[in-house]
Structure formats: structure tokens, C-alpha cells
Chains A and B, each alone.
Chain A
Amino acid sequence: MRRRSPRPAAHEIERYAGLFASRTRGMKSSAMRDLMAITERPEVISLAGGLPDTSTFPAESFASIMAKVAVDSCAAALQYGPTEGLALTKHAIRHVMAAEGTEVDPEDILVTTGGQQVIDLVCKTLLDPGDVVVAEAPTYPGAIPSFCSYQADVVQIEMDGDGMPIDVLEETLDRLEAEGRKPKFIYTIPNFQNPGGVTMSLPRRKRLVEVAIEREILVLEDNPYGLLRYEGEPLPTLLSLGGAPYVIYLGTFSKILSAGLRLGWAVAPAPVLAKMNLGKQGADLCSSSLTQHFVAAYFAEGRWEPYLESLRGLYRGRRDVMLEALAEHFPAAATWTQPEGGLFVWATLPEQVDTTDLLVRALQRNVAFVPGRGAYLDGRGGASMRLNFSGVGDDDIREGVRRIGEVVAEQLDLFGAITGERGAPATGPAEPTEPDPALADVLHLPRSARPHRKTDSA
């Protein structure tokens, strides 16, 4: 019979609570995470994930690459590697970046464990508790836990169809400067933003680089989707627009090859990269040598561009299916972005619809999405949702959007019945409000370091 050591009893909670660092107060579980656990059940059509479709990667190609790694680099692939990454991986990274018109030197690259590690390392390297980070509104939900665990005060700037308005950014920077609070960095996803689905225009990119240099503020350019463009002309990266002195570039193999490899990279000014390197040593010494060899062998095969083209074809079709389904099933008052690439559509419903509540109703119909509040730190986004079109097939996208449209209609109908207003007209974005504490039952909203400061909207 198995015997285990006794588990801590409930009354010992306070003893443990006293052992936690104060920053863990920003690291919390949430009812939302519990709801998301339900979305993983097989009967649920999940438009909530951010998953690339890995099912089309040829199994025989995987097998031959692994065989090649085993034959050619067995000992090295099983060994630790340098913290900054293997030279052969950096070689592949330079290929990928060149495809977006960005030339980099190998010594400016730090290979990381997914792009997510870059966000963590940047926060770890730059942020003291209470430091200001400027981010887009909405912003990548996965960056929020990093910002919170380093106790950042995040100021979010509402985007429009051309991404973050730089004039609003400058006004915000002026105001913050007047308060003696210069941001440590500006976080942006210029291409097919997650979750917003919009792309920063070329003039804004150029101006952003100028602003960064004029004001000596670092910019974290998160670019996971740049090569997943389905229409329109590619736009240059901030890094390639002369941003090198102040741009930290984040790249990843997750969306163009495999998320399971957990490989990303940073390109940063040398002093910043050196600190990030030290930070990475403390975190994990080095990223997996095995997957780095896999990437190197894959790129050496020379078939990465045709595979990427096949992904673009697949996702382009799915995006079109989703946009058609939205037009058919969402109410006339709803709006949504028309992404030229990437993985997400951001839809905004009439303001009386709360998408966090809506998710509960949607889960009863076996369909899921990400409620908009997950992309804000200040309680906004309540009427919006993020929909992913890369992870499920055409039929599921159509059916999933149809079901969501159905629960939206029900919610509006019920609201009308309760207020006596039928078919309320569409309105602009809701006024930014502080998070309703009662909402924490459904979605934990991370508290910013300065909870009572209002943030800007465009």
C-alpha cells in the first residue's frame, strides 16, 4: 500500500501565506482559468485558443529530421548549450528575419524558450515594482501575468484600425513625464495584433521609432505573426526602420513551425541583451539543445518556405470562413476586425453584452472564446471577444460562430425584456471603468500597482 507523508492541513494556510513574496499577490488563479478548463473538453468547439494548426506538418518530415539529428548530432543535442543559443539556430533565425527584410548579426540574438520568455526576461531586466509599461489596448492576454508578477503599472493605449495612435502615445508619455514616471518600455505587436487583429501602419511605425529614439524609451516589438500575412503588402519591422538602438525584437518559431518546440528569440541592444542573457542563466541556463538542433536541421532541409505558404493558404481560408460566418450570425450592431494576417479576429458587441457572462452561456452550447476583459488591465473590454480561426476547421468555425451568434441574440433579447428596450442601437466603446470587484467571481482582473489611476483611451 502506498503511504504518503501527511499533507499540510487547512489551518496552516496562513503559515504558507506568510512565506510568499509580495509580488505573488499579483499572481492569482481565476475563475476564468477554471472556465477555460471546461473549454478543453472534446465536445467544445474552442475558438478561445491561440493554437497554430500543427496537424498539417508532415509526420515523415518530422521523422526524417529527428533521424538526422540523432545521426549527426546525438551527443550535442542531448547536451547543455550556450545560454545565448546555438550558432546553427541563430543561422535559422537570421533566415526567418531576412524573410521579413530584417538583417541581424548573430551576436545580437538570444535564443529563448518561446517568445513568452522574452517578455518575462524583458520585465525581469527592466522593471522595478511600480514601473510604468505602456501597452496597446487591448493587449496580448499572455503578457499580463508577466507584467503583474513584476508589479508593473501598465498604461494601455486604445488602438484604431492602424494600430496604436502615436499621437496619443506621445500625449501619454508627456503626461507620465510630467508626473515623473517615465515608462520603462512600450509593448507593441505591430503585425496582426493579438488580440486586436489590426496592423500598425507604416507612418506610425516610423514615428514610433523616432519617438523611442528621441525619448530614449525601449520598445518591445513582439512579432510572432509577421510571416502569416494573407493579403496586402508586408510592412517593415520597427527594428529594420532604424530602431536598433531602442528596439527589443521578439521572434518565435511557434507560429511558423511548431509551438511545441518552445523556441523563440530576442534581438536587443547589446547592453540589454547582456542583462537578459544573465536573467536567462538564472531561469533555465539554456533553451533545449534538442529542439534547437531540430530547427537547424529543418531549415537546412530548405522546405520551410513552402510549408509556411501552405499554412498561409490554410489560415487565409479559415479567416475568410470566420468573417463570412460573423457577417451571417452576429447582430448588425456588432463590429469586428478584418485581419490581413495572424490568428485572431476581435469582435465588439453592443455594450450591454458582457462577454464574460456570455462565455458561460456559450459553454452550455459547447463553444468557447476569450472574453475581452482578459486583454485589459483596467476593466475595459467587457463587450469584446477574441476569436481564433487557426486552430479549428472550417465547419467548426461556422458552427462555433453560429452558436455564439445565437447566445448573443438571446442575451440581447433578455436585456431588452428586462429594460423594455428592444434592439438597442450600437454604441461606441464603453467608458473605461475600474474593474467591478463583483466580477472577480468570473474573471480575475489583475489589479494594477496604482489601481485608482485612470488610463488613456484614444
Chain B
Amino acid sequence: MSRVAVLKGGRSLEREISLRSGQRAQDALRDLGHDVEGIDVDHDLVRRLRELRPDVCFLAMHGRDGEDGTVQELLEILGIPYTGSAVSACIRCTDKVLAKHHFVDAGIPTPPFFAFTETAFKQLGAAETLGDIAQQLGFPIVVKPADQGSSFGLRVARSAAELPGALVAAFSYSSKVLLEQHVDGRDLAVSVLDGEALPIVEAVPQDGAYDFEARYEFGQTRFVCPAELDEQVAASARELAVAVYRLLGCRDVARVDLLCDADGGLHVLEANVIPGLTETSLLPLAADAAGIPFAELVGRLTDAALARG
């Protein structure tokens, strides 16, 4: 039995989802016999951790501060082992632009893109390049903040007239914004656990795009696991996901999101270092399909972190 602190909540836009992920992890860890303390991350996080002196931290924080390496850095300083990827992989994954540059450099297929900071528009006249961007990417263009999860701030611009609004929207969430070629395809998520791909999940939204609401509401999305794919395509998707996991230096677990176009072509969008653990999240679903119940999943992640302690 170990003393486990489950870190959740915080000020990220994904706070509520994180609280749900954290609560589920806490319940599972208790059932496994651990001494569990849930911490809704706040100003006094470091003080509480010093008082509590946990053997390990289970990270259930999503988005900013949780997935971008911030809390991992603090835990490194405090010398407390934690679940999931270390600081550098968090930074590489959270910044979707950086991750995509890694994909391009390594020959991993990803939709063509450009990225800008707010400063580029305000100080460097980047607006004048929008025509070139549109010409090279073609409409529709997906505009999204570089470092938000759960499709927060994501817009699809279908024409030049829609680009400014989409950019302003995305800049509300982040100082860096990604403009990406739209790929019409099926949403696939491949979770990688300990370097091995779990069964692929396809998210089939019942009502339009796979957006925030579809992600977290019962009945809004139909999940198919394992996804009904041509075996060759499925094998490629799993290989790609593992390649992404290794390329970005992930540890313990990651969820790689891809699109599969009509020709079976795969396009990697991003990797998430702290995938959701809610009742409607994809990692638990994939693990379950692989015969790994939720409690075992959470237990394995915790044990791996403890072994590093």
C-alpha cells in the first residue's frame, strides 16, 4: 500500500473534466488498497505536497499546468515520482506546433500547417500572408490554439472571410495559433500503454463534429472499439501511434489522435500525455477492449511511477 496523491482540477479550461478523471482514479486506487488523497490543485499545492509526503503523484490534470510540464517540473524539484511523461515530452506534446514539426522532420504524416503568434499579426504584418496560406492549404482551414485540449477554441474557416474571426477566437485561448489543412476523415484515437498500442477507438459523432460536448456527454458520440478498419490500415495506425510516442519521448501512456481519410491514408494530429479518464474517455475504453479493466490501468500507471521513485 502506498500513499498516492491524485492531482486534479486546477485552473485549466478542462478543470471539470479533470475533476471527473481524478475522482475515478481516486476510487480505483482506493479499491486497490492505496492510501489516496485527492488534491484540487491550487496556490498551496507545493505546501500540501510537502505536508502529505506522498510516495507517488497520480496526475489527472488536463490542459495547461497539468499537461504542459509545469506540474511535472515541480514534482521533479520535490523529488516525488509521478505518473506519465516527464517534462520534455510534455512540452513537445502540448505545443501542437512543436509536435507537428517533429512529425514533419521524422516523416510522420500530418496535415500541412502554418503557425503564428499574436505578435506576428500585431508587429510583423503577418496578415498579409493570409492569402498565401489560403492558397497553399486550401479551404476549409482548421484554426486552433497551439496548446488547448478538448477542441477548445477550434474553428473551421470555410472561406477567407471566416479566417479573421477564427484566428481571433483561437488567440483568445493561446498566444500561438495553428492553421491546418482540413482533412475529411474518420476520428481515430490510438492509446499507447508502456510503448504498446491498445485497440483503436473510432469516435463517431451523432450530431455533427466531434466537439467538446460530444466528447463528454453520454449518448452524443458512438464509440467503436476496436474500430472497424481494414487490418492493414489498423496496423499502420498502431505503428504510427507507437512511433509518435517514441518520437516525442512519451512515458507510461499517451493517446495519439489521427484522421483516416477515404483512401485509408492516415494523418497524425496530436499526442496527449494525460488522456482523459472519465466515463466517456477513450483511453479507458481502449484499455478495457484490451482486457485491462480501469482499476488495473490506473494501478499499472501508479506502479510504473513508484518503480521510478
Closest chain A residue to B142 by CB distance?
A438
With A419-B127, A441-B154, A441-B211 already in contact, the answer to whether A13 and B280 are too (CB < 8 A) is yes
Q: Is the CB of B16 within 8 A of A438?
A: no
Q: Is the CB of A442 within 8 A of B16?
A: no
Q: Mark A351-378, 1 if CB is under 8 A from B, else 0.
A: 0101001101100000000000000000
CA A8 to CA B280, docked complex, whole Å: 11
CA A35 to CA B121, docked complex, whole Å: 27
Q: Is the CB of B288 within 8 A of A9?
A: yes
For chain B, the count of residues having a C-beta within 8 Å of the partner chain is 56
Closest chain A residue to B214 by CB distance?
A440
CA A438 to CA B223, docked complex, whole Å: 20
From B127, B152, B156, B279, contact of A31 by CB (8 A): B152
From A10, A354, A420, contact of B168 by CB (8 A): A354
The answer, yes or no, to whether B3 is at the interface (CB within 8 Å) is: no
Closest chain B residue to A407 by CB distance?
B172
Nearest CB on B from A301, distance (A): 42
CA A25 to CA B218, docked complex, whole Å: 10
Nearest CB on A from B262, distance (A): 21
Q: Which of A170-178, A277-285, A394-402, A410-418 contacts B (4 or more CB under 8 A)?
A: A410-418
Closest chain B residue to A35 by CB distance?
B13
Q: Is the CB of A10 within 8 A of B31?
A: no
Q: Mark A15-39, 1 if CB is under 8 A from B, else 0.
A: 0110010001100111101110110
Q: Is the CB of B168 within 8 A of A411?
A: yes
Contacts of A452 in B (CB 8 A): none
Closest chain B residue to A34 by CB distance?
B16
Closest chain B residue to A353 by CB distance?
B168
Tell which of B172, B211, B214 has the most Cβ of chain A within 10 Å: B172
A401-458 contacts to B (CB < 8 Å): 411, 413-415, 417-420, 436-442, 444, 447
From A10, A13, A440, contact of B211 by CB (8 A): A440
With A10-B285, A354-B165, A357-B169 already in contact, the answer to whether A24 and B212 are too (CB < 8 A) is no
From A13, A14, A357, A440, contact of B213 by CB (8 A): A440
Q: Mark B230-249, 1 if CB is under 8 A from A, else 0.
A: 00000000000000000000
The answer, yes or no, to whether A303 is at the interface (CB within 8 Å) is: no
Q: Is the CB of B153 within 8 A of A34?
A: no
Q: Mark B166-194, 1 if CB is under 8 A from A, else 0.
A: 01110111000000000000000000000
The answer, yes or no, to whether B11 is at the interface (CB within 8 Å) is: yes
Q: Is the CB of A438 within 8 A of B213?
A: no
The A interface, classified by DSSP as helix, strand, loop or mixed, is helix
From A10, A28, A352, A417, contact of B220 by CB (8 A): A28
From A20, A35, A354, A439, contact of B218 by CB (8 A): A20
With A417-B127, A442-B212 already in contact, the answer to whether A361 and B219 are too (CB < 8 A) is no
Nearest CB on A from B117, distance (A): 11
Nearest CB on B from A148, distance (A): 13
B129-153 contacts to A (CB < 8 Å): 130, 150-153
CA A17 to CA B280, docked complex, whole Å: 11
CA A437 to CA B294, docked complex, whole Å: 33
Nearest CB on B from A3, distance (A): 7
Contacts of B172 in A (CB 8 A): 357-358, 360-361, 411
Q: Mark B279-295, 1 if CB is under 8 A from A, else 0.
A: 11100110011000110
CA A6 to CA B294, docked complex, whole Å: 10
Q: Is the CB of B31 within 8 A of A4?
A: yes
Q: Is the CB of B164 within 8 A of A438?
A: no
Closest chain A residue to B289 by CB distance?
A11
Q: Is the CB of B13 within 8 A of A34?
A: yes
With A10-B288, A360-B172, A415-B168 already in contact, the answer to whether A33 and B16 are too (CB < 8 A) is yes
Closest chain B residue to A351 by CB distance?
B165
Closest 8 CB pairs of A and B: A17-B219, A357-B172, A10-B285, A34-B16, A441-B212, A10-B284, A31-B212, A417-B121
- 17 A-B residue contacts at CB 8 Å? A4-B31, A9-B284, A10-B280, A10-B284, A14-B223, A17-B219, A25-B219, A28-B217, A30-B212, A357-B172, A357-B173, A360-B153, A411-B172, A414-B167, A418-B168, A419-B164, A444-B212
